[in-house]
Amino acid sequence: MALDPSRTVAELRELQELTGDADGAQRVAWTDTWVRAKEWLAERVPLEAEVDEAGNQWWTLPARSEKAVLIGGHIDSVPNGGWLDGALNVVAGVEVMRRLAEEGEPATTVRLVNWADEEGARFGRSLFGSSAAAGSMADQDELRTRRDAEGNALPDVLAEHGVDLDRALEARKQLENAAAYLELHIEQGPVLESLDLPLGVVLGTFGVERHQVTFRGQAAHAGSTPMDKRRDALAGAAKLELENREIAKRTGGGAVCTMGSVVTKPGIVTSVVETAECLLDQRHLDPATLASMLEAAKAGSERIAHEEDIEVEWERIWQIEPILFDDDLIELAEESIQEVAGTSHRLPSGPLHDAAEVARAGVPTVMLFVQSLRGLSHTKLEDTKEEHLELAVQALDRLTDRTIAWVGSRP
Ligand SMILES: [Zn+2]
């Protein structure tokens, strides 16, 4: 059976028909629709499915060499999501598995995995299945207390799906023989479209620094306090937001800084702002550069506080290290893209992906991005040209063969 990329597009449309509605994809993990999507997927693979302790679905094409090339994605979606986010790779992976199965025993074991609950849409915990398999899940005590919007406890809902939270980390054994991990995903951003390129190689996922920055001034009457006598905390927030744009611009290399929220108190029209609580998110692929972006923002905030005669205080909310993909696999991915599309491009990923968890576990990893129209995702408007989807399936197929050969050539 030769590779048939147009079948992938047809199957993705069929999946959307089966599990979506007028508002978009509804394959939220740990719901009946998600179960239907998993069953639909299992019917498509010419191999027996195995479900691990974290709810991940695996299909294995065995070979004499137990070293395994993994192809992974996630069939779950956000509510009112797009038809391609996550589903593209598992469905494209099915096509590659069918082609390989038809050709007989591959040179190394090849496995397809559908990760459970990448999106974290129901309980707010992203990358559930992949972090369990990677062994990085360390928040089980906290997860025990999580509830969905209807008040259902996470452990109870998982149990209904055959997953015992206390045993989820036993999924780690699935990565024991993993020698490489490949993931194709829609870009979910505008870069490839702006370059008019169908495909790109992902260098890694951004590190993230997330802080609450609080400026404190003095509440004072809006009518009786002259402009030059004010200690206005909002002025600090406003200046820091503009400073952040300069920091990102001057840093370059894909640097992004976002002040996603400012809460002002007392927050009434008749008072100068006394406190402004800002949420700041900074991302970069290089750890030292990310650290210097944070330093620059802190120094900027001190200068601004001095200028405005206010105080500033920083508190870290969350951080994650940048995760870099494997240099050899990046080369192989680039060759594969050039073979099917002529030109490739290297870019970082702003969003996190299951691939980051697998890479963190020490498995050589790479991702392919295919162009997203208008850069939109997590909405029913998410889309990619059919011809680009077909090129993406071909690139994944070429990359799989190259990776099998690469794994075979390593000691
Ligand atoms: Zn995704």
Q: Which residues pair with 314 in a beta bridge?
A: 213
230 within 8 A of 274, measured Cβ to Cβ = no
**Quick one: which of 391, 403, 375, 397 has its CA closest to 342?**
391
What is the band of 320 on the pLDDT scale with cuts at 50, 70, 90? confident
Give the distance (Å) from ligand 1 centre to CA of residue 187: 9
Q: What pLDDT score does 351 carry?
A: 87
- Strand, coil or helix: 263: strand
- C-alpha distances in Å from residue 275, one per residue of 76, 260, 278, 300, 378: 40, 16, 10, 18, 34
Cα–ligand 1 centroid distance for 26 (angstroms)? 14
Does the pLDDT value for residue 318 go beyond 90? no
- Compute the half-sphere exposure of residue 335: CA atoms within 13 Å on the CB side of its CA: 13
pLDDT band with cut points at 50, 70 and 90 for residue 286:
very high
Q: What percent of the chain has pLDDT over 90?
A: 95
Query: pLDDT tens across 64-114, in order?
Result: 999 999 999 999 999 999 999 999 999 999 999 999 999 999 999 999 999
- What is the whole-number distance in angstroms between the Cα of residue 84 and the centre of ligand 1? 8
CA of 42 to the centre of ligand 1 (A): 19
Q: Which residues pair with 114 in a beta bridge?
A: 57, 73
Residue 230 DSSP code: -
Quick check: 378 pLDDT over 70?
A: yes
Could you tell me the pLDDT band of residue 317, with boundaries at 50, 70 and 90?
confident
The share of the chain scoring above pLDDT 70, in percent, equals 100
How many whole angstroms from 185 Cα to the centroid of ligand 1? 7
37-44 long-range contacts, CB within 8 A, separation 24+: 37/75, 37/76, 37/87, 38/75, 38/114, 40/14, 40/15, 41/75, 41/90, 41/91, 41/94, 41/114, 44/11, 44/91, 44/94
Separation CA 250–CA 150 (nearest Å): 46
Q: How far is the CA of 162 from the centre of ligand 1 (A)?
A: 23
At residue 1, does pLDDT exceed 90? Answer: no
Tokens (6 digits) for 77? 């979606």
Say how many CA atoms lie within 13 Å of 244 toward its Cβ. Answer: 22
Question: How far, in Å, from the CA of 205 to the mean position of ligand 1?
Answer: 13
Mean pLDDT of the chain: 96
